A = this chain, B = another copy of it.
Amino acid sequence: MELKGKRILIVDDEEDLCEILQYNLSSEGYQTEIAHSAEEALKRSPGNFDLVLLDVMMGPISGFKFADKLRKELKIDVPVIFLTAKDTENDILTGFSLGADDYISKPFSVNELTARVKAVLKRSYTDKVNSKAIIQYNGIALDTVRKRLIINDERVELTKKEYEILRTLLENQGIVFSREDLLMRIWGQDVIVTERTVDVNITRLRTKLGQFGSSLKNKTGYGYFFEF
């Protein structure tokens, strides 16, 4: 398994800590991005990261609220590791009830951090379809490195948006995503585009999907989903 190169979103309002985290994770080969608030984190399309490191004690929206929003409202189930100063059981349980994958209590050592990060990434690798370079579904192969499809031995290049929509739908087959869900997840919090934009991208995807185009289905009034 190749953990290196995985994208990690660091969400913490303490500049210094962020930099320490970033420095250490980078030198381990991970790609990192920093957000100093929940709001900022939402802007960075958290669904596109492999892991989110989240401080629970943070500005107006706490890490807990952010995680809750991520899971329940945005339906993004990216792995999350909480950074918590309060090492109380209650805190920790709250975190896990909100879908955390692990937690680290401050202060923590670099070794501890990288070990947990590695473990969580490994779990999300083995347990989910995630992380493989090419993911196959029925007759469709999605090359997650080159961001393209292989259908009937043919390469079909996908643009960024197309790729992200398709991946989202393929990884969550049968689940209906409203236009808003998709906009939130893929375009991000503050990008303002018409909901119809999704429709157009769906059309384009259907064309590129060829014989499988009709598997990208619409549920009138609700949204889009994938079903072979």
Query: Distance (Å) between the CB of A135 and the closest chain B CB?
Result: 16
CA distance A26 to B175 in the complex (A): 19
When distances are taken between beta carbons in the complex, the residues of chain B under 8 Å from A175 are 145
Instruction: Report if A69 contacts B (CB, 8 A).
Output: no
Instruction: Report if A3 contacts B (CB, 8 A).
Output: no
Number of contacting residues on A, CB 8 A?
21
Instruction: Report if A94 contacts B (CB, 8 A).
Output: no
B160 touching A174 by the CB < 8 A rule?
no
B26 touching A159 by the CB < 8 A rule?
no
**Other-chain residue from B160, B184, B219, B220 in contact with A146 (beta carbon distance below 8 A):** B219
B181 touching A147 by the CB < 8 A rule?
no
When distances are taken between beta carbons in the complex, the residues of chain B under 8 Å from A221 are 159-160
Q: Would you give 5 A-B contacts (Cβ < 8 Å), ordered by A? A: A146-B174, A146-B225, A159-B220, A160-B220, A160-B221
A-to-B contact residues, CB < 8 Å: 5, 26-27, 31, 145-147, 159-160, 174-176, 180-181, 184, 189, 219-222, 225
